[in-house]
Structure 1
């Protein structure tokens, strides 16, 4: 699997609401109405990630959950990360 160029990642971003390319990863923070809403979203994302065998880095800070995607084995952002970002958006309801 090939690492995407910066131009390829930038071309994908308009279709990935809320995501940005920063420090070599795709990143999105989502603020939930309540702490447990964020925890439930993390659970749903985790179940999907496990099924896909492609796992985001997840940081939970009270009601804000930050997802970061990079294909570590390839050393950069790949199509798998772009696809997972779209799935995370679907799971958390954009």
Structure 2
């Protein structure tokens, strides 16, 4: 089983069209190591809650830094005390290992 700590040490690799999305069994193995992350079709996401707007924005900025450093960018839904982070790999129309690498790095921000 792939553990999230292994994922946090990895770096995203460029995905190109023609690369197949991860199979369902592999997606479920990755998700097992990412508490609170959910799969909805070809997207994984998690809602993070904070005490106030300042903490929320600090988290958003940290996620943005991860996205830039990995070259893999999530969709973010931001409100006063929470942020939903969603990953998918648009180039392949599904989930790739990159989505789980970034999700693990986001998760590590709060552990």
| TM-score, normalization by structure 2 | 0.79
CA distance in 2, matches of 1:51, 1:35: 24
CA distance in 2, matches of 1:65, 1:76: 22
* 1:5-44 CA-partner distances (Å, limit 9, x unpaired): 1221111111011101013200100011111101100101
Give the CA RMSD over aligned residues: 1.1
Runs of 4+ in 1 over 6 A off after TM superposition: none
Q: Does 1:9 align with 2:17?
A: no
Structure with higher strand content: 1
Q: Is the 8 A contact 2:66 2:102 kept in 1?
A: no
| TM-score, normalization by structure 1 | 0.92
Q: Does 1:47 align with 2:65?
A: yes
Q: Which runs of 5+ in 2 are unaligned?
A: 1-18
Q: Which runs of 5+ in 1 are unaligned?
A: none
